[in-house]
Amino acid sequence: MDVLTAIQSRRSIRLYSAKPIEEDKLNLVLEAARRAPSANNRQSWKFIVVKDEAIRTKLAEAAGGQLFIAHAPVILVACGTEPESIMTCGQYRYTVDLSVATAFMLLEAREQGLGTCWLGRFDEKGVKDILGIPEQVRVVAITPLGYPAETPDERPRKKLEDIVCFDRYQ
Ligand SMILES: Cc1cc2nc3c(=O)[nH]c(=O)nc-3n(C[C@H](O)[C@H](O)[C@H](O)COP(=O)(O)O)c2cc1C
């Protein structure tokens, strides 16, 4: 599958099969995060792979009761380990770095026939307590990972001409 095909065919999956994920597939998804670019190549990140069912259920509760995530055999939690650093452009480095790495994981998961769903709705403190994440570390994104048990339709996207302009902002 080429990259654009993976991008075009990826969907947020909210219904998962209980089928376990092969370790080599899981490792390829994590490898995609490891290979992601980061500001100054600092790679100030940690990816927690949650397989334990009881912990998955607790995470689902901390994610505003989005219980579907507990049905996936794995939940990935993407953490920024140096959240204080701000780039010259004014953006926090860790939010950008972790978003890139998470996006790479979503696409590699698609390549492997696995489903994901980026979660931004979660109680960070609750998640940190459940997983023993140190106070100074920030949780940027969470996604379930597993074989899809649904094939959602494509969600609408704005037209290219509505979001792209040339030479100056219009
Ligand atoms: C930053 C971010 C946060 C999101 N948070 C949630 C979430 O908490 N729960 C959820 O079910 N989907 C969440 N989504 C998934 C979006 O709803 C989804 O990507 C969007 O509707 C487009 O659908 P698609 O991913 O199938 O193309 C999130 C996506 C992003 C990028």
Q: What is the pLDDT of residues 51-63, one digit of tens each?
A: 999 999 999 999 9
pLDDT at position 87 is 98
Ligand 1 centroid–CA 121 distance in Å is: 9
Three-class DSSP labels, the chain = CCHHHHHHHCCECCCECCCCCCHHHHHHHHHHHHCCCCHHHCCCEEEEEECCHHHHHHHHHHCCCCCHHHHCCEEEEEEECCCCCECCCCCEHHHHHHHHHHHHHHHHHHHCCCEECCECCCCHHHHHHHHCCCCCCEEEEEEEEECECCCCCCCCCCCHHHHCCCCCCC
Segment 136-148 shows an average pLDDT of: 98
Best residue for ligand 1 mutational test, from 15, 66, 69, 118 (most atoms within 8 Å of Cβ)? 118
Query: Cβ(68) to ligand 1 under 6 A?
Result: no
Residue-wise pLDDT for 75-134, tens only, equals 999 999 999 999 999 999 999 999 999 999 999 999 999 999 999 999 999 999 999 999
pLDDT at position 163 is 98
Query: Cβ(25) to ligand 1 under 6 A?
Result: no
Query: Cβ(32) to ligand 1 under 6 A?
Result: no
Segment 62-69 shows an average pLDDT of: 98
Split at pLDDT 50, 70, 90, the class of 160 is very high
pLDDT at position 35 is 98
Percent of the chain with pLDDT over 90: 100
Q: For residues 18 and 13, give the distance between their C-alpha atoms in angstroms, rounded to a whole number.
A: 14
Ligand 1 centroid–CA 142 distance in Å is: 11
In contact, 144 and 74? CB cutoff 8 Å: yes
Percent of the chain with pLDDT over 70: 100
CA-closest residue to ligand 1 atom 6: 119
pTM over 0.95: yes
Query: Cβ(159) to ligand 1 under 6 A?
Result: no
In contact, 68 and 149? CB cutoff 8 Å: no
Closest CA to 142 of 64, 80, 63, 67: 63
Ligand 1 centroid–CA 116 distance in Å is: 10
Side by side, the strands of the sheet bearing 115-116 are 45-50, 74-80, 138-146, 115-116
